[in-house]
Amino acid sequence: MADAARVETLRHFRQAGLQTESKRADFDPVTVADRDAETAMRAILAERRPDDGVLGEEYGQTDGTSGLSWVLDPIDGTRGYISGSPTWGVLIAVSDAKGPFLGVIDQPYIGERFYGGPGRSEMIGPLGKRTLGVRATTVLAEATLFSTFPEVGTPAEGAAFRRVAEQVRLTRYGCDCYAYALLAAGQVDLVIEAGLQAYDIQAPIAVIEAAGGIVTDWTGGPVHEGGQVVAAATPELHRAALRLLAE
């Protein structure tokens, strides 16, 4: 499925004349590449896993009977995609009643693929294959924090985020799903976001948890359905971030 999505996304990436529409008045972009990539992945599932459910960003929910659901975001980071930035990705997760247990974050242009699931936590890219593992950072003053948008969410959510940002060593923005991949690879320590959907976060949950990290909502609860997200490398960082977000 990730291979099929690579073909469709790379077909249009950095190509002149790419047509972009907006799903909302405040510019929520979608392209033919988003739709074609999800169509390609759904075609594979229809052939190989016809009894499973599917939730995709572009074509919604298809119910299944197996108890398993595939959660797809054909291009997470379409704003980056249409800007030519290689920080978007294809997200694929498999979930049961307890939540996601297998995930893939794929960056087609760079050629990096991050896997997380039972007995498997690895990335494959231009430098070869290696095991994923989060960093051992335990104090905010030594941490690197990522979020996609400086605003984070509502004004109140933005203020909560800034309380954490004021305590960390470095704050960076704009990587969409690639920030979660970097956390699983041991390059950054925290990702904090708000307003996410299930298809935005289920693959990152599986990849990060397999790498030894923690992903919850801002109260420490499950975040499989999206909303306010905290992803942390260690329990100590997670607790510290939650305390500041709750103030």
Put residue 176 in one of left, alpha, beta given phi > 0 → left and psi -120 to 50 → alpha. left
d(CA 157, CA 130): 36
Helix boundaries (H) for the chain: 2-12, 32-48, 78-83, 155-165, 177-184, 198-210, 235-246
DSSP character at residue 59: T
Q: Which fold has domain 2-131?
A: Fructose-1,6-Bisphosphatase; Chain A, domain 1 (3.30.540)
d(CA 220, CA 242): 7
Supply the pLDDT for residue 20: 85
DSSP character at residue 92: E
Supply the pLDDT for residue 23: 74
Put residue 62 in one of left, alpha, beta given phi > 0 → left and psi -120 to 50 → alpha. beta
The pair phi, psi for residue 202, each rounded to 5°, is -65, -45
Q: Of 68, 70, 218, which is closest to residue 147 (Cα–Cα)? A: 218
Q: Which token pair is 138?
A: 């335990």
The pair phi, psi for residue 201, each rounded to 5°, is -120, -20
By residue count, the chain amounts to 247
Domain parsing of the chain, residue ranges? 2-131, 140-246
Predicted TM-score (pTM) of this structure: 0.96
The residues of the chain scoring below 70 in pLDDT are: 25
pLDDT digit string (tens) for 85-103?
999 999 999 999 999 999 9
The 3-state secondary structure of 93-159 reads EEEECCEEEEEEEEECCCCEEEEEECCEEEEEECCEEEECCCCCCCCHHHCEEEECCCCCCCHHHHH
d(CA 140, CA 37): 38
110-142 burial: b if 16+ Cβ within 10 Å, else e: eebbbbbbeeebbbeeeeeeeebbbbebeebee
CATH code at 140-246: 3.40.190.80
Supply the pLDDT for residue 93: 98
How far apart, in Å, are the Cα atoms of 226 and each of 44, 114, 129? 26, 20, 30
Q: Of 168, 172, 122, which is closest to residue 141 (Cα–Cα)? A: 168
2-131 and 140-246: identical CATH topology: no
